[in-house]
């Protein structure tokens, strides 16, 4: 049976219930960065993007990049000096050229991507704010065809919580030792008001096991069902990356607004400034 939200997201597994979740134990959220009575902020940091892992990856990518560049130079030399195998050297030249493009993209992205791509949910205004970076969608064609020097670009989106629904998608990868490695993603779908027509989507969390903790916790928080929530914050790493999270001033103020009236006042203030 397909998802009721169309067009259906890639690798869809199931639709999620939106509403208060009642459980015997308190709901926990291991992605919780900030919480108060007005808004909460959830982390979407990838495991491989932690400081130590990132340094290791950068070192490996840099070494591979040097090897690929050396190979490219060798092929250029061979094309002009060894006519007997010119066709082979031309083929290898383009192969190394593609490898260089991919490695440069991965290296610069890993170096310049922000330390996190959080989401803010304001339950007083019913607004959701996405701090998005294309590293979250790594593996799409855009990863390899976009300019690597756009790796610092951040897009900020604002949505209404009322128009957001949740689904689970899963990706399976065979491993050499046998078996399958499966990862699960909770994705938030942004629908047209009062419809099931999807106009946008974003990733809420990625896990190696099938659980709905972040989604269940979030639904209870947004409906002010606080008695069922464990509000313990996530444990931050002792090392921080030099590319920091920086919300635009307008979005930062809007996302922290304590009422709809305060939100509208901030919105009017910045509209007047931007005239």
Confidence label for 102 from pLDDT (cuts 50, 70 and 90): confident
| Domain co-membership, 23 together with 96 | no
- Rounded Cα gap, residues 124 and 255, in angstroms: 10
Domain containing residue 62: 52-112
Name the more confident of 243 and 185: 185
Question: How many domains, in total, are found in the chain?
Answer: 2
Residues in the chain: 275
- Rounded Cα gap, residues 106 and 58, in angstroms: 9
25-69 residue pLDDT tens: 889 898 999 999 999 999 987 655 567 777 888 888 899 999 989
Classify residue 193: in a domain, yes or no.
yes
pTM (two decimals)? 0.81
* Residues with Cβ within 8 Å of residue 20, at least 6 apart in sequence: 219, 220, 223, 225, 228
82-99 residue pLDDT tens: 888 888 888 998 998 888
| Domain co-membership, 253 together with 125 | yes
| Domain co-membership, 70 together with 183 | no
pLDDT at 140: 54
| Domain co-membership, 64 together with 26 | no
pLDDT at 265: 97
Measure Cα distances from 129 to 37, 55, 148 in Å: 17, 29, 25
- Rounded Cα gap, residues 26 and 22, in angstroms: 9
| Domain co-membership, 82 together with 211 | no
Q: 132 phi and psi, to 5 degrees?
A: -110, 145
Identify the CA nearest to 159 among candidates 110, 120, 109, 118.
120
Place of tokens 């499966």: 182
* Residues with Cβ within 8 Å of residue 115, at least 6 apart in sequence: 45, 49, 51, 240, 241, 243, 244, 245
Measure Cα distances from 192 to 164, 171, 197, 260 in Å: 9, 27, 6, 21
* Count of other CB atoms within 10 angstroms of residue 172: 9
Q: 6 phi and psi, to 5 degrees?
A: -125, 145
Classify residue 5: in a domain, yes or no.
no
| Domain co-membership, 166 together with 247 | yes
pLDDT at 50: 65
| Domain co-membership, 175 together with 56 | no
Peptide bond into 7 cis (omega under 30): yes
Q: Is the pLDDT of residue 101 over 90?
A: no
- Secondary structure letter of residue 138 according to DSSP: B
123-172 residue pLDDT tens: 999 999 999 876 655 555 555 666 666 667 788 999 999 999 999 999 88
């Amino acid at each position: 049976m397909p998802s009721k939200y169309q067009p259906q997201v890639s690798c869809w597994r199931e639709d999620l219930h939106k509403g208060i979740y009642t459980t015997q134990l308190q709901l926990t959220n291991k992605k919780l960065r900030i919480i108060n009575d007005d808004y909460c902020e959830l982390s979407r940091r990838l495991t491989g993007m932690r400081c130590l892992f990132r340094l290791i990856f950068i070192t490996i990518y840099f070494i591979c990049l040097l090897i690929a560049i050396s190979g490219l130079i060798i092929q250029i030399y061979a094309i002009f000096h060894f006519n007997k195998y010119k066709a082979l050297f031309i083929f290898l030249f383009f192969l190394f050229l593609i490898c260089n493009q991919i490695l440069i993209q991965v290296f610069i992205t890993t170096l310049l991507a922000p330390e996190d791509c959080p989401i803010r949910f304001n339950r007083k205004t019913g607004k959701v704010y996405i701090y998005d970076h294309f590293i979250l969608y790594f593996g799409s064609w855009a990863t390899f065809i976009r300019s690597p020097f756009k790796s610092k670009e951040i897009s900020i989106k604002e949505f209404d919580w009322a128009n957001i629904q949740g689904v689970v998608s899963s990706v399976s990868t065979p491993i050499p030792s046998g078996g399958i490695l499966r990862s699960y993603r909770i994705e938030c779908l942004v629908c047209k008001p009062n419809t099931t027509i999807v106009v946008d989507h974003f990733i809420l969390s990625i896990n190696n096991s099938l659980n709905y903790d972040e989604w269940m916790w979030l639904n209870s928080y947004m409906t002010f069902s606080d008695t069922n929530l464990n509000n313990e914050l996530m444990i931050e790493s002792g090392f921080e990356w030099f590319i920091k999270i920086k919300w635009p001033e307008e979005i930062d103020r809007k996302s922290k607004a304590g009422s709809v009236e305060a939100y509208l006042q901030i919105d009017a203030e910045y509209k007047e400034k931007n005239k």
